[in-house]
């Protein structure tokens, strides 16, 4: 894909370089139909790689997430595992509170010891509230303290429409998430913890000689689906966050507050079909690839190489790739010293009148301050700029 979007090395300041001319309108550029109607209070279809939401409704309004809450619980625990603070083989003593928790259960027994790995599978596959509370208490000492940890992580992740008072998703007046926050959290779990994400595609788990199936029935209906999590309470309704990968494209859908388990499945399937049918995702530029060079003043060298610090993807209507229009803007009068990774401009990709992707243009290497003679020389040259 890279050879389709050309780039130029530039040294002028605040210069915009257009790299593709717009294609003539074709049948492929006809308007996309609206996303399928469904009974959800809120929904979103979001591309995993680009992060673009291709359709949504009430996606930034907060609702009870029910057991989708456990996705944040899992994220916190995965962080603890990565940091080496706990291990999958650690044994957790089951408290009476965990044992007595109502709702879906893994059927752990009070006073028994269960491994973190088994509890994680009990929470992810079986949606066990007992397993969830046992893990929360193991990590933070109490569920209340663990909820505070969840809120701190939510803030770090920029999940501004979410707040947690427990680890399970049992109803509470101050316990909520948005569909967009859920989609972003699911993408973070998939991206950061693939070794644990595999459990979200597990169709059943057996513990204490009791086998329970995953409540996400899309795992049986659609081979492209490999997660993520269901949720239900009387007040939240039936909820589902789903992820599916097909032909190099991964979509995440969220439906909140449908009236039945079958309705959340049908709504999610329809949204996935819509997303894959009408949209496509392209990788335009790799991270660390030189896209431009610019004059740098008073430095040990007179130019700095610019590129991106992460891969740039775009999600667009199918058949519109040749109509993309890419440009770069570079800051005026860049002065040394400049550290590697410093934002010095931006790359913007447009489709017709819409900006479909934008990322900072950063220095790919550091440039130290130049010698006294270099600084004096550049100071004189700048006088005539």
Closest C-alpha among 99, 84, 46, 58 to residue 251: 46
Phi/psi of residue 229, nearest 5 degrees: -155, 140
| Burial group, residue 114, by CB count within 10 angstroms (0-12, 13-18, 19+) | buried
Which one, of 283, 293, 284, 285, lies nearest residue 365 by Cα? 293
Is residue 290 among the annotated active site residues?
no
* CA geometry: angle 235, 241, 243, nearest 5 deg: 170
Backbone angles phi, psi at 363, to 5 degrees: -70, 130
Residue carrying the six token digits 């673009």: 52
- Catalytic-labelled residue, pool 56, 70, 217, 294: 70
Reading the block at residue 12, the tokens are 């002028």
Phi-psi region of 237 (alpha: psi -120 to 50; beta: other; left: phi over 0): left
Mark whether 70 is an active-site residue.
yes
- If we measure between CA atoms, which residue out of 341, 353, 347 comes closest to residue 284? 347
- Active site annotation includes 115: no
Can you tell me whether residue 173 is helix, strand or coil? Answer: coil
Cα distance between residue 308 and residue 288, in whole Å: 6
Q: Which residue has the tokens 């002028």?
A: 12
Catalytic site residue from 50, 56, 95, 127? 127
Residue tagged active-site, from 50, 56, 67, 294: 67
Show which residues are catalytic: 67, 70, 127
């Amino acid at each position: 894909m890279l050879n389709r979007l050309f780039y130029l090395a530039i040294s002028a300041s605040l210069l915009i370089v257009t790299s593709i001319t717009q294609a003539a309108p074709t049948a492929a550029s006809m308007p996309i139909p609206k996303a399928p109607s469904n009974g959800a209070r809120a929904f979103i279809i979001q591309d995993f790689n680009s992060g673009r939401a291709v359709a949504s409704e009430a996606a930034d309004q907060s609702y009870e997430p029910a057991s989708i809450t456990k996705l944040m619980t899992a994220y916190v625990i995965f962080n603890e595992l990565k940091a080496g603070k706990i291990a999958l083989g650690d044994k957790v003593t089951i408290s009476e509170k965990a044992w007595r928790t109502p709702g879906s259960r893994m059927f752990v027994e009070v006073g028994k010891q269960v491994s973190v790995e088994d509890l994680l599978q009990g929470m992810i596959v079986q949606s066990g509230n007992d397993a969830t509370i046992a893990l929360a208490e193991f990590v933070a000492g109490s569920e209340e303290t663990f909820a505070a940890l969840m809120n701190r992580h939510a803030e770090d992740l920029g999940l501004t429409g979410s707040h947690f008072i427990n680890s399970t998703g049992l109803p509470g007046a101050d316990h909520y998430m948005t569909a967009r926050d859920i989609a972003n959290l699911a993408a973070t779990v998939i991206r950061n913890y693939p070794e644990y994400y595999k459990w979200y595609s597990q169709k059943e788990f057996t513990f204490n000689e009791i086998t329970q199936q995953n409540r996400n029935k899309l795992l049986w209906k659609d081979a492209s689906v490999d997660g993520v999590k269901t949720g239900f309470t009387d007040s939240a309704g039936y909820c589902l966050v789903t992820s599916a990968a097909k032909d190099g494209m991964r979509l995440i859908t969220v439906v909140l507050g449908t009236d039945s388990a079958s309705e959340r499945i049908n709504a999610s399937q329809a949204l996935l079909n819509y997303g894959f049918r009408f949209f496509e995702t392209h990788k335009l530029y790799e991270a660390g690839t030189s896209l431009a060079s610019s004059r740098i003043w008073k430095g040990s060298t007179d130019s700095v190489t610019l590129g991106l610090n992460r891969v740039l993807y775009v999600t667009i209507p199918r058949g519109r790739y040749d109509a993309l229009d890419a440009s770069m803007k570079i800051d005026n009068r860049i002065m040394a010293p400049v550290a590697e990774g410093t934002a010095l401009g931006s790359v913007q990709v447009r489709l017709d009148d819409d900006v479909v992707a934008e990322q900072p243009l950063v220095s790919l290497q550091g440039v130290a301050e130049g010698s006294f003679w270099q600084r004096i020389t550049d100071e004189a040259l700048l006088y005539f700029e």
